[in-house]
Amino acid sequence: MEHPVRQPARRPAARAALAAGALLLAAALAGCSGSDDSGDADGRQAAPSASPSPSASSTPGTGPYPDYVALGDSYTAAPGVPESDGDDGCLRSTVNYPHLVAADLGSALDDVSCSGADSTALVGVQTSSTNKLVPAQFDALNDGTDLVTVGMGGNDFGLFASVFSGCVSRAQKDPQGSPCSDAGRTKALAGLKQIEDRLEAVYAGVRDRAPKAVIVAVGYPMVVPASGTCPDRLPLATGDYPFVREVNEGLNDAVRTAAKKAGVLYADVAKATEGHDVCATEPWINGVQNAPGKAIPLHPFAEEQKAAAAAVLAVLPKGAKA
């Protein structure tokens, strides 16, 4: 099994960002203003009914999980969801799912998630999108940590970059075919097994550093529909939609299986966001367009973060720590 502590310090985050090529990444980072816009662009609906709401009696540090640490990549950080903190280049939203979970539980939160992170950023210094050095995320863990969520895996071994940036690029030459699947399906599926092994080691590493904590592995939403296409929002070749969907499902299978092997909880975000992929009538994931004050390209809107928070809360032992 590959253990993440053996990995070198990670490469710059921008190289592994979930964006369709350099142009989309630039647009994504440019769109991370904290400005608010309450309009419903792209048919997005209001918050899901299962979303948690902060308890008026919850005081940080007094709930069943007083000290909560959130580890993760951009699907945890939620860049562009207002307000986003751009000081260190990690682009964490103040209303991402860790903040919503902490508010509901009355936990003191240390959110060290960072856009562009892969699992090597847990143990090594990460260079953020603004070329700032970000400490290893594992540094936030200690014997007093009560709850840890881990939203990681999509950037490992270049998975997101290959199936989004790479597939969009190939689609330009063969829009009606399946050029990305033809060229990279075998490699992508093999990479999912590597991600599973690495995540199992990640969860063991969390346990080593926070032995009393309840640990939740957080899955990813379904970005790609089960059927149909939407080239204006997700410009893949027609025949590559099933392949990218397969990778999306495979990533969640890797997170779920690694969590089971490591004996940690699993929050099923795909199930919680079903029917709200990029192509949906009411998408909770942004397409390739920029949406200032809402989300950067190919990243979650606020609605998805509320659903992710509900998924995390649903698997936690009730009352007090297990």
Q: For 64-75, what is each residue's pLDDT tens digit? A: 999 999 999 999
C-alpha–C-alpha distance, residues 282 and 181, integer Å? 27
C-alpha–C-alpha distance, residues 320 and 322, integer Å? 6
Residue from 87, 92, 90 nearest 12 by CA: 90
Query: In this predicted model, what pLDDT tens digit does every residue of 215-225 receive, in sequence order?
Result: 999 999 999 99
Domains of the chain: 4-34+54-315 (3.40.50.1110)
For residue 110, give every residue at least 6 positions away whose Cβ sits within 8 Å of its Cβ, in sequence order, or none.
67, 68, 69, 70, 140
| Percent of the chain whose pLDDT exceeds 90 | 69
Query: In this predicted model, what pLDDT tens digit does every residue of 90-140 receive, in sequence order?
Result: 999 999 999 999 999 999 999 999 999 999 999 999 998 888 999 999 999
Least confident piece of the model among 24-38, 84-98, 169-183, 297-311: 24-38
Query: In this predicted model, what pLDDT tens digit does every residue of 253-301 receive, in sequence order?
Result: 999 999 999 999 999 999 999 999 999 999 999 999 988 899 999 999 9
The model's confidence at residue 146, banded by pLDDT at 50, 70 and 90, is: very high
Check residue 12 and give its pLDDT. 37
147: tokens are: 């709850």
